Chain A
Amino acid sequence: MNEEFAGIDIGSRTTKLVVVDAAGAVQRRRQADTGFEPMATAEKLLAGTSCARVMATGYGRNLFEIAFAGRTVTEIKAHARGALAFFPGTRTVLDIGGQDSKVIAIGDNGRVHRFEMNDRCAAGTGKFMEVMARTLGYAIEEFGDEALHADSDIAISSMCTVFAESEVTSLIAKGRERREIALGLHSSVVRRVAAMVGRVATAGDIVFTGGVAKNPCMRALLAQLLGRRILLPAEPQLAGALGAALLALESEKYQ
């Protein structure tokens, strides 16, 4: 019988579903805005799949556990597993999602042995990048490319989204170049994220997951500042859901 296993990552902004087969090969991927009814969204994504086991992760996982009697795993473990699927030798994972950022260190046994999570404020998250791109009149997809084309950097001192927004507005008013402001914003986020990486895992390649990993300027600046290679999975935003799907499969197998 061809059994399937699902991983669902219920994030604060988007919910992602990945379905794998018994060999761990991805069969399906779906994504939707989490919206105001996360369980309804989850149900819609799961509709039509008949999985032997579903593993939920993300901030909505505990709700899912109650609503669907499903199993859960933390984002930390799910992202680590997902990153390992993309790059089998992974030792460091950096994930920057919509509302939080985290760094995970993986031991030689393939298990998480340390992590740090920034969830106290929007600084250094996808949300911050989105607000700043909008303030500068860029689409989020082009934000990083534009920043990479700046001739020089501008120091941005505020990391709080609200203050940074007004700092950016006043820089625009002073006639500063949009791209330079964009680069300055990227640099300030990267400095903060790099410090977190340094605290958790000091050497080796870094697998970058989460939506922000798609930003080329973030990757370039991180590689430069840390002097480490940044590895980008094919679909960085699906790492959590993929990891959860694989953990669903493995929990079945080893039970």
Chain B
Amino acid sequence: MAITPLMNDGMDGAPAKRVLHSMQEQKEKGRRIVGIYCGYAPIELIQAMDLVPAVLCAFAEGPIASAETVLPANLCPLIKSSYGYILEGTCPFFGLSEAVVAETTCDGKKKMFELAAEVKPMHVMDLPQLPDEAEALVNWTAMIRKLQGFLEKTFDRRVSDDAIEASIKATNRKNRLMRRIFDYAALHPPLLCWQEMYDVGFLALPARGEEIEPLLESLLARLAVRREQGECFGTERSPRVLVTGCPVGGDALKIFRIIEEAGGLVVTPDSCTGIKSFLGETEEDTGDPVAAIARRYLAIPCACMTPNTRRLTALSQLIDRFRPDAVVDFVLTACHSYNVESHKIGRHVGERHGLPYLKIESNYSKSDEGQIRTKIEALFEIARS
């Protein structure tokens, strides 16, 4: 018996369409849109200003050819794809956005932003990369205040700390609901498949807490029904996989699909397009909501940070919670940060958790699907033995 899709709104498996639909609606209501690219964009602040954050397109192979007329070929596909969309003018979210928030994460991205700034106003935030230094918090707090100033000026409005505080609380509520949804993937077998997690995350990430809450509650109700009716994905014996690493979306979703085709279950998409963005709590009622936001965002375990020990801690927590049988580290071609860090991740996963680990280095093309499949199947052979 087929399981009824979780959202069941006719757009399952096409999350971008769903979000675009909602953005257009908001735009018609007079709301203005700000583009974002990365997990460090402080969504709470943007929403407190009654602006709508739009995650810009970066996950298709298509626009890469255009990008390579300007950018070197030996660059991360996420960066090339983003820029290709900008050059071609084919990202609908970029079209709707009146400004774009960017951060100095990795080198390729920040240099690409310089070129993208020729097309649309970019506000680049200077992201500290040693998150444990005391100055990091001071500087990042200042950067968020500066972003506030930029948005106030660009969109001709003011925002109070009270409004920011309210936005923090709404986002915390949303993230808690999201974590409860992901918890259904921790069950054996899981009650959620990767496509559903991806779809819900795609919709929820840029959504305002108070506006998405009813939907998330209804999804939780549906999941409870699935549980009652014994509906699940795979079997007790299907290998459970935690996929960590670079963001996975669009054409990179092949990694999830191949895992599924090989008989596995993705139970934890541990990246910025998966569970990662919903894990943190921002401290409430601190009297300085912007500093609280800064603290939460600095804690994001991104490989751009050094040392990124938080990633190991977070990974261990996810492993304990979702109990995977294997860990796949997905590294986009030419992403040096995640590629170098994978050595530590592999060691940690093996030594601390005794789990088989596999690094997959790939891009958005289809050319290596056969090879990835072989590696994933071999990983499952190891996990089963």
**Contact residues of A with B, CB < 8 Å?**
59, 62, 73-77, 100, 109, 111-115, 117, 119-120
Among A59, A77, A119, A120, contact of B378 (Cβ-Cβ < 8 Å): A77
Among A59, A112, A119, A120, contact of B382 (Cβ-Cβ < 8 Å): A112
How many A-B pairs have beta carbons closer than 8 Å: the answer is: 37
A-B CB contact pairs (8 Å), 22 listed: A59-B374, A62-B373, A73-B381, A74-B378, A74-B381, A75-B374, A76-B378, A76-B381, A77-B378, A100-B371, A109-B385, A111-B382, A112-B378, A112-B381, A112-B382, A112-B385, A113-B356, A114-B356, A117-B374, A119-B368, A119-B371, A120-B368
* A62 CA to B262 CA, complexed, in Å: 10
B371 and A74 form a contact (CB under 8 A):
no
B375 and A117 form a contact (CB under 8 A):
yes
* CB of B230, distance to nearest CB on chain A (Å): 28
* CB of A10, distance to nearest CB on chain B (Å): 12
Interface core residue of B356, B370, B378, B381 (most chain A CB under 10 Å)? B378
Q: Which residues of B contact A119 (CB under 8 A)?
A: 368, 371
Overall SS of chain B's interface: helix
Given contacts A59-B374, A74-B377, A75-B374, contact A113 B382 (CB under 8 A): yes
* A119 CA to B368 CA, complexed, in Å: 9
Among A77, A112, A114, A117, contact of B371 (Cβ-Cβ < 8 Å): A117
* A9 CA to B356 CA, complexed, in Å: 25
Q: Which residues of A contact B361 (CB under 8 A)?
A: 120
**Contact residues of B with A, CB < 8 Å?**
356, 361, 368, 370-371, 373-375, 377-378, 381-382, 385
* CB of A182, distance to nearest CB on chain B (Å): 29
* CB of A137, distance to nearest CB on chain B (Å): 32
Q: Which residues of A contact B378 (CB under 8 A)?
A: 74-77, 112, 115, 117
* A117 CA to B381 CA, complexed, in Å: 15
* A109 CA to B382 CA, complexed, in Å: 12
* CB of B197, distance to nearest CB on chain A (Å): 27
Q: In chain B, what residue has the closest Cβ to A72?
A: B377
Q: Which residues of A contact B374 (CB under 8 A)?
A: 59, 74-76, 117
The list of the 10 closest CB pairs from A to B, nearest first, reads: A76-B378, A74-B378, A111-B385, A119-B371, A74-B377, A77-B381, A74-B374, A112-B382, A115-B378, A117-B375
Q: Which residues of B contact A112 (CB under 8 A)?
A: 378, 381-382, 385
* CB of A58, distance to nearest CB on chain B (Å): 9
* A251 CA to B328 CA, complexed, in Å: 27
Q: Which residues of B contact A59 (CB under 8 A)?
A: 370, 374
Q: Which residues of B contact A74 (CB under 8 A)?
A: 374, 377-378, 381
